[in-house]
Chains A and B, each alone.
Chain A
């Protein structure tokens, strides 16, 4: 009994060898295989055979392909494809536009994803890692005391440890920095041990780094960013050695770090840490070569289990463990997951675009049936017959992907610009400019588009034979192609429905959370931010003195029409916290949140907020009088049965975490608060400024003459009160509100564009296919009309037939879209209860159905209105 060579390898060898030599080569292989099997055993012989087959394929396939392409004259074919496309400009333009946007969307999203996932400079292979301690059963991550991180550095960083270097740091989004007598400003800053410079591999551009525990003339050392050095010191080398007052503590500037460095996020000032500061620290380290994150994690977990700092957290040693992960990944966490979903959705859009082009090509292929038949009859190979169509798709995909890449790049720049303009903190290491990956991705997308849009029509065309082509002509409708095109339409509608549903819910969700209740005057109102630090304003009295002094001085100025103070900008949901209402719920029972704002009495007048019950806050509500509050109608209606809670007490937790109580003295209207997800006004509570003296002031000012710059007026007033107090975030109220909405604006713009494009594509595709099919049936309809069939019935029949794949596609797409919406992490979690969700779920299928019906109806009507006599004359 002779052994059999491996089947697939035998096929591979046969496929690789030219037909004329196939028999002898396969015979030789089999003979050698048999001898080997006798000599060395069947398994060894089979291994040998497989190897031979692969070598044959590697050696022969490129030669065969080269010969085939030479025979097909590729350059000439491409020229022919371009000529053929130029002859039908509208079809070509439609296909090109479709592919351009189809490639642009995913490449823009890919670029965004690439930027978000870029690694820190100087970080080869993700070796800069964030270190954390997690205690899952104790509910998350315990705070890291300085001593714990110091122990890690001593025992795990060094030649024998898993880390090359390990550093502790903490950061602040804005500290007050003042150069004595020159300027004062707020900058994001970090305190970090000197080991951080080794971890991050950063060198100063001027001066030097500081050392651990170093004192310069008895003062702690600080480093500033090149940006500050340029803006504030004109790159003066004399800036080194200057004293800066940072958060009330004098520091000596010893060096300047590069402008593109901003660890941990986008910091501009770095200081030596004070180990005694009552703060929680973070840890960053550089992994030693050849040490994996898992190995480091195990080593650190063993250490953490024995550390007294975490003894209280550990219910058992197994519960407490260390987490070591690449720094950039730890920073973004789940956000990249959302981005990846976004990418998947944009690729889906490309698939819809490609399917559309496939339909266009199917129609072209069907029109080319005569030419194909002749080529086949003359002995052309399948590849030769497919080639003109494939070449057209290749030309379209090539140009489309280049255009798509350019459009995608522009869209990416616009998105990044939008994000940074609206004050979302971009970590310093994020780089959106790396184009090479995007080019590769776009090329991949182009190949995908070409495969989807070219292969099916090309294969279809090549299957025609003389008989098929004759049938095509006699039916005046390309039988198989019609079925295929109809199926493709179904797929397109399904994918579009999925996409549109997702985009619709996203847009509706974002729009619903827009601030519809902006019935208060925003024009001409300027806003800013003043932060009163503990070291300059140690108590409420000092803070109140500054606030009242500022407000009185402003109101005394002739150019100021109105001035008011608030702790959070009206029209935003900032400052939201749980508030308990007496007799309804307790603070310990996790009561619903309300937007809590501390305001001076002038706020109500400026925002045109009117009382509906009780009274407004008054100047007499000051220190020493009973603590009072005013609530809005949204609070009153949602929290108390009689909608009049005047006289009852509310409790909330202040900034110092201590529960505080107040008596409700009035109810006001809902101006200045935002509607919630269900469209009803958010609950709002107002407290009296003088009773709480907050340390953050958001002054609101309206000038009589809009031409005067408000900041100048504020600065002049402040100069007399506290020249070192920095003023930030000076903007108009409209700008401030636009920033607050920027996230949802971006979502609306992106998903809106995606959704609109998906809808447009499916309608254009559907219309194209149906117009093509109807053009083929003109004669048939003409004959039927001549035989007395009523136009209405013909129209109805054609419509039903045309809409059948739409119905199937809608059903499938709706199910898929529903699943996608429910599982997506991009959208909000509490969707089902929202109005937006319901509206989108109903609107999207209806919209698709309506537009589809229109797309089918138009060509049907045209075809059935044809004059029967004209058709018969032609026939």
Chain B
């Protein structure tokens, strides 16, 4: 099977969805990333990345009814699939290995 590469923003979205649990959806995910990283997330970037992650099989989406705040429009909720979790674990162990011994170099 083809092994998809993972981009930096995809990494952040997957982590946000993992943190938020089964009720993660577009707004909560962008809020989570904006709060924790301090960067602005455009709706277009969030939408395209969520679509891509779903296509790669790392996220699974489902439609839920919307509330007043969003004009009763449906919301699409996401959970991280097993493949998604495995991929995150791989990336993490790779990164931890790479960071080993160099974090001090950056003063952190």
Contacts and interface: CB of A to CB of B under 8 A. Distances in A.
Interface residues of A, number: 23
Contacts of B74: 23-24, 27
B71 interface: yes
Interface string B25-66: 111001000000000001111111001000000000001001
A27 B70 contact: yes
A29 B43 contact: yes
A32 B30 contact: yes
A477 B19 CA distance: 67
Interface residues of B, number: 22
Interface stretch (A54-62, A141-149, A782-790): A54-62
Contacts of B68: 2
B66 A27 contact: yes
Contacts of B76: 21, 24
Nearest to B29: A28
A66 to B, nearest CB: 14
Contacts of A52: 42-44
A25 B66 CA distance: 12
A841 B47 CA distance: 65
B104 interface: no
Contacts of B47: 17, 21, 25, 28, 56
B44 A60 contact: yes
Interface string A50-88: 011001101110000000000000000000000000000
Contact of B51 (A2, A21, A30): A21
B43 A27 contact: no
Interface in B65-89: 66, 68-71, 73-76
A60 B47 CA distance: 10
A27 B73 contact: yes
A27 B75 CA distance: 7
B70 A56 contact: no
A59 B51 CA distance: 13
A55 B71 contact: no
A30 B73 contact: yes
Interface in A13-46: 13, 17, 21, 23-32, 34-35
Nearest to A25: B47
B44 A26 contact: no
Interface of A is mostly: helix
B27 A28 contact: yes
B42 A27 contact: no
A24 B65 CA distance: 10
Contact of A24 (B26, B48, B69): B26
A30 B70 CA distance: 5
Contacts of B69: 2, 30-31, 34
A97 B73 CA distance: 55
A640 to B, nearest CB: 88
A28 B71 contact: no
A25 B61 CA distance: 13
Contacts of B75: 24, 27-28
A170 B27 CA distance: 76
Contacts of B45: 59
Nearest to A54: B44
Contact of B44 (A30, A31, A32, A59): A59
A421 B43 CA distance: 66
B26 A28 contact: yes
A28 B49 CA distance: 14
A31 B68 CA distance: 9
A25 B27 contact: no
Contacts of B30: 28, 32
Nearest to A18: B51
Contacts of B44: 52, 55-56, 58-60
User: Which of A13, A17, A26, A28 has most B Cβ within 10 Å?
Assistant: A28
A28 B70 contact: yes
A56 B43 contact: yes
A789 B70 CA distance: 69
B27 A24 contact: no
A26 B42 contact: no
A820 B51 CA distance: 58
Given A51-B42, A56-B47, 14 more contacts: A2-B68, A13-B43, A24-B63, A24-B73, A25-B26, A26-B71, A27-B26, A27-B73, A28-B43, A30-B70, A32-B43, A52-B42, A52-B44, A60-B48
23 contacts: A2-B69, A21-B76, A23-B74, A24-B25, A24-B26, A24-B73, A24-B75, A26-B73, A27-B66, A27-B70, A28-B43, A28-B47, A28-B70, A31-B70, A35-B27, A51-B42, A52-B42, A52-B44, A55-B44, A56-B42, A56-B43, A59-B45, A59-B48
